[in-house]
Structure 1
Amino acid sequence: MLGTGRLLPTLLAVIGLAGVVLGWRAITRAQRNTAIVALAAGLLSSIVGALHAANAAGGLGTGNGLAGAVLAVALGVVSLLLGGLALIRSRRA
């Protein structure tokens, strides 16, 4: 069962993963709206994940969601990069 300390980072990691998928899809199909959604998902995932990681007490394996928060930040950054690349490519086309 997920506790309250792990639920938010897990949800943020899923949002970050969705942003990565949408960013990749926006790059391959040159879709501007999908790129903007990927940017928003990456921004949300990385900022809130970083805030949760900064406020987490203890280290990895203590059940406070630190691993999920780190994963959310990493996926959020990748989502931001892919969404930004797709947005640049859609403006050129």
Structure 2
Amino acid sequence: MNASTALLAAAEGGIIGDGRTGANLALGAGALGMAIGWLALARAGGGISTGNVRTGGMAAIAVGTVCTVLAVLHLATASGGPGTGNGLVGAIVAVPLGLGAVLLGRRALTRCRRADRPADRMTV
């Protein structure tokens, strides 16, 4: 089983359970990505001194991308509408969570790069 087949089967919920499983996976990944992105952004702002900002930012981008892909795949393959028990509403909620994680990770990376520049080269 290649990666694209496994990802499609996970989005459909065919590997591990009912129709809501793909949406629940996407929601969990989205929540995790938002938490990682928020922590990376807090590190970049100097609020938390432990950890690597670049690693946290890249991890938030990666997890957010996986969340968005899983949610969109689930939306594309779900049968029925909202309220049918297929996890359609969960997938709809997971898309902005994944995109938010990507944006938080990107903002943390931008702040990290801005802080690494020498003071004489910074422009306002």
TM-score w.r.t. length of structure 2: 0.70
* Matching residue of 2:83: 61
Distance 1:26 1:58 in 2: 38
**Per the alignment, in what secondary structure is the counterpart of residue 19 of structure 2?**
helix
Q: Tell me which structure has the larger Cα radius of gyration.
A: 2
Report Cα offsets for 1:63-93 as digits up to 9, x if no partner: 1110111111110011011111111111111
Higher helix share: 1
Q: Does 1:18 align with 2:32?
A: yes
* Matching residue of 2:68: 46
Structure 1 stretches of 4+ moved >4 Å:
none
Distance 1:89 1:10 in 2: 32
The higher relative CO (CA closer than 8 Å, separation ≥ 6) is in 1
Once superposed, what is the RMSD of the aligned Cα atoms? 1.4
Structure 2 residues without counterparts, runs of 5 or longer: 1-16, 45-52, 116-124
Report Cα offsets for 1:41-80 as digits up to 9, x if no partner: 1000001201111221111110111011111111001101
TM-score w.r.t. length of structure 1: 0.91
* Matching residue of 2:105: 83
AA of the residue aligned to 1:71: V
Distance 1:28 1:44 in 2: 23
